[in-house]
Amino acid sequence: MSYLGKNLYLCIHMMTSRTYHSLNLDIASFDSSSIVYILLPHRLPEEELSSLEDLSTRFETNIVAISEMDWNNDLTPWKAPAVKEGEFGGHASQFLDRLKEDLFFNLEHSLKISKPRRYLMGLSLAGIFSVWAGVKKELFDGVAAISGSFWYDGFAEWLQNQSELKCVRFYISLGEKEKETKVKRFANIEEDTMKVVEILMAKGADVIFDMTEGGHNSPVIPRICKSMESLLEHK
């Protein structure tokens, strides 16, 4: 058993669930330098956690599902009006620093990964956070946005203005029914997503776009699996 930080213990080669500071971590470990971080709005149910272990074995990678972050604030790159009331806090820079300097460093040290092949995946707001982080920081070998909230105010314009992409491999998926919404802000999600895909490709990125069955809240494990197939198998 190895020690991670002050309050997280990790058993190698098994599924573990721990709280690390304010974050919940579900970790499927594998003897590999590859590690996939998945940002989720809530902890997966037990039956889906067992699926993560299966994916870890199939793709020969460590998988870390992260939940219980401050969703509307930690994952948004700048302030913007919230969907219902109030505003998104725009604390993504601080959250990314926490991941890089604390969680990634300590966890990868615990797993004895000295030169990680690191991937970041996110659902919904975590999807735009993942793309934003991949563009800004040279941390990731690949990034996936699953039903990314590309309707977010100013995101496409920000992306267009970036002179360099720190990550150049992206997988972006969208449910075919996501545009069928009564929320006006989400109505153009298909066009908003395709605009992001086109901007990334125009800047030289390797982008796989996938229109999947269902909507925003469709089962997440099959979509995670497709993300991993695209980023980890097609190198």
What pLDDT digit, counting tens, does each position of 74-100 carry? 999 999 998 888 899 999 999 999 999
Determine the pLDDT at residue 88: 95
Distances (CA, A) of 206 to 7, 57, 193, 231: 39, 26, 16, 10
Q: In angstroms, rounded to a whole number, what is the distance separating the alpha carbons of residues 154 and 199?
A: 14
Q: How far apart are the C-alpha atoms of 230 and 36, rounded to whole Å?
A: 13
Highest mean pLDDT: which range of 3-12, 62-71, 106-115:
62-71
Q: Which superfamily is assigned to 2-233 in CATH?
A: Alpha/Beta hydrolase fold, catalytic domain (3.40.50.1820)
> ∠227-230-235 over CA atoms, to 5°?
140
* Predicted pLDDT of residue 47: 86
The pTM assigned to this predicted structure is 0.92
Q: Which two tokens stand for residue 216?
A: 């925003």
> Cα–Cα distances in Å, from 220 out to 37, 65, 195, 224?
14, 12, 24, 6
d(C-alpha 235, C-alpha 233), whole Å: 6
Contact (Cβ atoms closer than 8 angstroms) between residue 183 and residue 220 = no
End-to-end CA separation in angstroms for the chain: 33
User: Which pLDDT does position 186 carry in this prediction?
Assistant: 81
Residue 66 tokens read as 């992260």
pLDDT tens string 26-36: 999 999 999 99
| Cβ(162)–Cβ(171) below 8 Å | no
Query: pLDDT at position 213, please?
Result: 85
Domain boundaries, the chain: 2-233
88 and 74 Cβ atoms separated by less than 8 Å: no
Summary mean pLDDT of the chain: 91
Predicted pLDDT at 13:
52
Give pLDDT tens digits for 137-175.
999 999 999 999 999 999 999 999 999 999 999 999 999
Q: 217-235, pLDDT tens digit by residue? A: 788 999 999 999 999 976 5
Instruction: State yes or no: pLDDT of 71 exceeds 70.
Output: yes
CB atoms within 10 A of CB 60: 12
The identity of residue 44, as a single letter, is L
- pLDDT at 3 (0 to 100): 35
Query: Which residues, 6 or more positions from 201, have their beta carbon under 8 angstroms from its beta carbon?
Result: 207
Q: Which two tokens stand for residue 161?
A: 């203005």
